[in-house]
Structure 1
Amino acid sequence: MKEVKRIMVAAAAAVMALTAAGCSSSSSSSSSKSSSKVYKIGICQLVQHEALDAATKGFKEEVTKELGKSHVKFDTQNAQGDSSTATTICNNFASENEDLILGNATASLQAASAATKSIPILGTAVTNYQVALNLKKFNGTVGSNISGTSDLAPLDKQEKMIKDFVPNAKKLGILYCSAEPNSKYQADEVAKYAKKDGLKVTEYTLSDTNDVNSVTQQAASASDVIYIPTDNTAASCAKTINNVALKAKVPIITGEEGIMSKCGVATLSIDYYGLGKQTGKMAVQILTGKKKIAQMPVQYYKNPVKEYNPTICKKLGIKVPAGYKAYKN
C-alpha cells in the first residue's frame, strides 16, 4: 500500500512539473512576442503628386511585408512643396529618435541630412546624390548615415527622344524650378547633348508655383519643343503647363511618367512604385542589422521604358516612332 502511495505521489509530482514547464514555456513565448521590436519610421514626402505618392506606397508596402504590420509604425508627413516645412518635419523625426527616416525627393533628403547624423536616412526619388548633398567626391556610396535610390533615367537617351518625336526641331526650351538642384543638373546635362545635336537651347526657370503659367508661356512662344526633367514643382503644376503648351501646339518631352501623363508626349519612364519597394528592401536590411547603411551604394532603377502619351500625341498630330509603349492610366 505504501508502495502504491509512493508511485501516486511521484506521478502527481511529474504531472505538476510538466504543467509548470508548459506554463513557463508559454509565458516565455508570450513575453518574447510582447517585447518584439516595433520599428518607427518617419517619412517626409516633399509634395503630393503621382510619382512621389507611388514611391511612398511602394516603400511602406515592402517594409510592412518584410517586417509584419505589427512590427512597424510609420509617421508619414507631406511638406506641401515647402523646404522649410520639410526641415521642421525632419527635425521632429530626429527629436523623436525614429529608427529610420525616408526622404522622398531631394529637398526632403536634404532636410533629413541636416536634422541628424546618427539616424539612418534613405532617400528615394532623388536624381543625383552628389548634387543633392553637395558632396565633393562621390563613388556611388554616400557613407555616414545616408543611402537610398535614384530616379535618374539616362539623360542622353532622354535627349534622343526629342529628335524621335520632333525631328525638325531647332529650338529647345528646358523648363524647371530653379530651387531644385537636381533639376538644374538634368537641365545642364540635356542641354549639352542637345547642343551637340545642333539644337539652340534656352532654359526657362520657375521660382515657385506662382509663375508656372507665365514662364511656360515664354517657353512655348519661343521653342519648337520643351523638355521638363524630374522636377517636383513642374509635376505638381503639370495640368497648368499642359493648358499652355497644347494651345501653343508645342510638344513636351519629360523626365518621368507622372509629368508625361498630364502634359508630355513621351518619356523614358521608371516605375516609382517599384523604386519605393526597392528602397523598402534597403530599409529592412538596415533595421534588421543585415547591412550597414554607410556601406550601401545608392541604387538605380533598372530597365526604364520608352513611353508615349496617346492622347496628347493625337491632339498634336505627332506620329509615334517605333519602339515606344503607349501609356495607360
Structure 2
Amino acid sequence: MIGTKYVVRTALAAVLGMGLGLGTASAETKIGIAQFGKHPQLDETVTAFKAELTKLGVADAVYDELQVNFDATLIPQMVTKLVSSNPKLILAVTTPVAQGARQIVGNSATPVVFAAVTDPVAAKLTPSWDAGDTGMTGASDLQDVNSVVKFVKKLLPDAKRLAYLYNPGEDNDVAVLALIKEAAKAEGLELVEVGLDNTNDIPIRVSSLAGKADVIYVPGSNLVQPAVPAVAAAALSVNIPIVNASAQAVRDGLVAAAFEVSYTKVGQNAAKLASEIIAGKSPASLAPIKPTYEDHTALINEAVLAKTGQKVPDSLKDCECFAK
C-alpha cells in the first residue's frame, strides 16, 4: 500500500526469541497486529484494516505482525512481544487472541482494538454493546439476524414460512433462535423450528418440511454447517431453497444463497475505531461495532435456486452477487 510500511515477523521467531527485535523501522505510528493464524477470512480482516487506516489518514504506520498458527498456548508470548515494542495500539484478531491480550495488556497504556470477535460482551471484553472497556474496544463479526431475514424476504418475496435448523444443545444456536423468532415476525414470516440432536436426523427432518416451509435458513451451527451437503440434498428433494450463513456452499453449488458478514467490513470497522484512538479518544468511549445489513455480503447461485422452482426477483438482478 502506497505510503505504508510493513514490518512482518513470523510467530516462530517471536515465540522462540530468535533475536528479531520488533519495531526496528522508524515511523510516527507503530501498530502491533496479533493474529491467531493464517486463514482467508482473518487475512481479509487484516488487509482491510490496513487499507482503511491508510484511507483514514494514518499513512505513516509501521505494522509488527505476529501469528501463532492457532496454538492458543502461544498467545501470551505473542502479545507480550508486541507490547514490548511500545506500539500505539494492538489489533487483536479473533476472540482467543483478544482475551489473551486482555490478560497481558490489562488496563495498561497500550490500547487494544479487537476484530472478528463474535460477542465481546459474552467474551468479557467489553461491559456492553454500548461502550468499550478501559483500554479495549473493537469490531464484531456477529451476523445480524434481522438483516438475514430481510435478505431472505428480498430473495423470496412470496415466502411465508421460514425453517430454522439448529442444535438445541448448542448455546449459540439457541441464542440465534430467540433472535430469529422476532426477526421473522417483523418480516411477516412464520418460523418453523427444526431441532437436530445429531446429523443422522437431517434427511428425515428436512424432508418432512415439504409443504411446511418455503425456505430454510442454516446458521453457523457447529453441528449443522459441516452437514450442509446432507441438508442441501434433502432440501432439494422437496424443492425448498436454502439460505446459508456461509457462502462457500453457494460456490460449491450446494445451496441457493448465502448472506454472511463481510470480513472486509469487519477490518474496516476496526480501522475506524483505531483511527479514533490514534487521534486521542479512549477505547472506553467507543462502543464496539456490530455488523449492519450493509456489512454483510450476499451470494446467489441462480442455477441451484432454479432447481427449487424459484427465480431471482427483479430487485436483485443487478446486485452483482451471483456465484460464477
- C-alpha RMSD of the superposition: 4.1
1:247 aligns with 2:233: yes
Deviation at 1:53, TM superposition (A): 3.6
Write the deviation string for residues 22-51 of structure 1: whole angstroms up to 9, x where unpaired: xxxxxxxxxxx97545725133247735x4
Q: How does 1:1-329 map to 2 (within 5 A)?
A: 36=27, 39-45=30-36, 48-49=39-40, 51-63=41-53, 67=58, 71-79=62-70, 85=71, 87-98=72-83, 99=87, 100-117=89-106, 118=108, 119-133=110-124, 138=128, 140-152=130-142, 154-162=144-152, 165=156, 170=161, 172-175=163-166, 181=172, 184-194=174-184, 197-204=189-196, 214=200, 217=203, 220-223=206-209, 224=213, 225-229=215-219, 231=220, 241-248=227-234, 249=236, 250-255=240-245, 257=247, 260-262=250-252, 263-286=254-277, 288-301=278-291, 304=294, 307-324=299-316, 325=319, 326-328=321-323
Pick closer, same or farther for the CA change 1:142–1:60 going to 2, 3 Å: same
TM-score normalised by length of structure 1: 0.64
Number of aligned pairs? 277
List gaps (5 residues or longer) in structure 2.
1-23
Write the deviation string for residues 106-149 of structure 1: whole angstroms up to 9, x where unpaired: 444344434441342222233443334386x6251122122112
List gaps (5 residues or longer) in structure 1.
1-32, 80-84, 206-210
The answer on whether the counterparts of 1:46 and 1:104 sit within 8 Å (CA) in structure 2 is: no
Q: Which amino acid aligns with 2:265?
A: G
TM-score normalised by length of structure 2: 0.65
Distance (Å, rounded) in 2 between the aligned partners of 1:134 and 1:203: 31
SS in 2 for 1:131: coil
Specify which structure has the higher proportion of helix: 1
Deviation at 1:297, TM superposition (A): 1.7
Distance (Å, rounded) in 1 between the aligned partners of 2:221 and 2:270: 19
The answer on whether the counterparts of 2:162 and 2:217 sit within 8 Å (CA) in structure 1 is: no
Larger radius of gyration: 1
Distance (Å, rounded) in 2 between the aligned partners of 1:185 and 1:179: 9
Deviation at 1:273, TM superposition (A): 1.2
Distance (Å, rounded) in 2 between the aligned partners of 1:153 and 1:173: 15
Deviation at 1:276, TM superposition (A): 0.9
